Structure 1
């Protein structure tokens, strides 16, 4: 089971679901055997056996990968059905209805918060309907107390599960922001690029994807002359300027003064136009502040990705174009088309 740092609870939830579904598969298999061999409840035995099989499959899927939405829905409905039927068939003193208290925990493991709320409400309504259909015991007051205690226990577990899920979502959003954002500039970082690249690679099989790698020319001189505080301020301003030209595309800071822009649904010619707009904007912008203005230029390398290459290969090719730009005088754009040989990458002069 792999750990996703942008969804840290995913790993834990899969482990919990794995063991819970395994235990449910074992218990319902045992209950099915007892229903068939001892109590002669063949319908109940069959329902329990089917649920045990579904639990086994969910256990296998949770070990290999996340459960699909359709499987999650089937599992939730199956759990409601098997507990409902068992509650209806078995006497109340067997306490089968107590298993319904697992519903909120199970639902919040496999569904999102809104879906879990709906499922938990539906499950409670079904269970109350089944219990009301049962023949009351000799003392009706005891039966009412049973219903009240069951509902209160169910609601408490439901509330706890709901609050934990809400807190989990809020925490993971915050942690995701911390993990994926560059602390200085606020744009995405290299870790976020690594995390997103697999999706980019798959999308590039059907839609063009171009990667821009941008490096500020002679930025070391800015740090040496004006100090690192000023250099940091210039980096923040540069990131904001680049971000203003990228629309819905994501900007990543992948090095000290090196940035990467992933241009979705953008071919090499469109990427060249966008890169030139960014280059001119940086050249014409006045950085720092009016009292100590700083002028900068940038060199940019472009590569149109294909779905066969890894991130390291893509960045390596784009970096080669970037350094070609620097070697040819800086403040220019170099482009390489993935359909051509790396050595045949063409130079764009302005």
Structure 2
């Protein structure tokens, strides 16, 4: 799972983008009529019409949650170009600075702290250059007064936006970590697994997915014999061993001693090799706590995503193979049959062996 998936910023920014784009669609339509009818400025009116159409398109994409990062960036920088065009072509006045000073709020809200900072610096330099050039070449307004108003107001809004976005992001990351992480092992939890699979479903034309269900063999006896404190240490150490193979983003704790691994762009054959690596690593790892030497094994069930499968289907099928691994002696990896017909055939074979 991509660690950024469990991130509310995208939802917040999508909502904000929807509102801003709708507002600017109406504003640009009004100004287009104003320029053409009141000021007879058909060039400015045509620019506003083009922006109105593009803003309406961004609103449609954001409402459908189909926008991408580049759509947001293009929209933001188009707003910047529109403000720059206004400052370069319209009569200079202090009220022209209003839209410019609001830019940092928009940059940070839609682009985040890093890109918001870069964009805000770019805007400030660009606008100061334009206003300085126009002030030197006309007597429309005092250059000193203009620059003082511009820099002081812009810096104030910029500082507030930068501090606020940084604090908001830190709080969001803390809350997301608490919501998506297992308190004991610090691995991802079932909620994070649901989020990761939801992302995969939206992009399944681009990726494969094999899912592993891992269960520790005879874990209850470890708790009974050595105590729950030792059992917790076993879970923590085991999760760290699994992360050595699959990484942090792909490991989820979904039960007491049960883990799930998501392997994107892995066929079931490749997933089997990963499962065997995990099984061998755990089986050969020396678990030593207070002079107590514990030998631990685990069983693995693996299933590959097929079109139409839901997360519950994958978990159920992989768990079924895990159960078969347990029934067959534990400490082994079992694969889901490729087709339902293979599953029925395998079930018949198992039943015939049981009858014999």
Structure 1 residues 160 and 264, CA gap change in structure 2 (3 angstroms):
same
For normalisation by structure 1, the TM-score amounts to 0.84
Alpha-carbon distance between aligned partners in 2 of 1:248 and 1:12, rounded to the nearest angstrom:
26
Alpha-carbon distance between aligned partners in 1 of 2:265 and 2:34, rounded to the nearest angstrom:
60
Structure 1 residues 308 and 146, CA gap change in structure 2 (3 angstroms):
same
RMSD: 3.0
SS of equivalent to 2:182: coil
Contact 1:211/1:318 (<8 A) preserved: yes
Q: What does residue 147 of structure 2 align with?
A: 147
For normalisation by structure 2, the TM-score amounts to 0.83
Contact 1:279/1:332 (<8 A) preserved: yes
Contact 2:200/2:207 (<8 A) preserved: no
Q: Does 1:23 align with 2:23?
A: yes
Shift of 1:136: 4.2
Deviates more, 1:302-311 or 1:90-99: 90-99
Deviates more, 1:217-226 or 1:321-330: 217-226
Shift of 1:318: 0.6
SS of equivalent to 1:184: coil
Q: What does residue 253 of structure 1 align with?
A: 253
Q: Over residues 118-141 of structure 1, what are the superposed CA-to-partner deviations in whole Å (9 max), with x where a residue is unaligned?
A: 332332233223323156447x6x
Alpha-carbon distance between aligned partners in 1 of 2:203 and 2:74, rounded to the nearest angstrom:
30
Alpha-carbon distance between aligned partners in 2 of 1:72 and 1:270, rounded to the nearest angstrom:
38
Number of residue-to-residue matches in the alignment: 343
Alpha-carbon distance between aligned partners in 1 of 2:78 and 2:157, rounded to the nearest angstrom:
20
Structure 1 residues 173 and 326, CA gap change in structure 2 (3 angstroms):
same
Q: Over residues 13-59 of structure 1, what are the superposed CA-to-partner deviations in whole Å (9 max), with x where a residue is unaligned?
A: 33333222222222232222222212222222222232233222223
Alpha-carbon distance between aligned partners in 2 of 1:267 and 1:59, rounded to the nearest angstrom:
39
Alpha-carbon distance between aligned partners in 2 of 1:117 and 1:258, rounded to the nearest angstrom:
44
SS of equivalent to 1:285: coil
Q: How does 1:59-74 map to 2 (within 5 A)?
A: 59-65=59-65, 67-74=67-74
Structure 1 residues 5 and 122, CA gap change in structure 2 (3 angstroms):
closer
Shift of 1:220: 2.0
Q: Which runs of 5+ in 2 are unaligned?
A: 350-356
Structure 1 residues 304 and 35, CA gap change in structure 2 (3 angstroms):
closer
Q: How does 1:177-192 map to 2 (within 5 A)?
A: 177-192=177-192
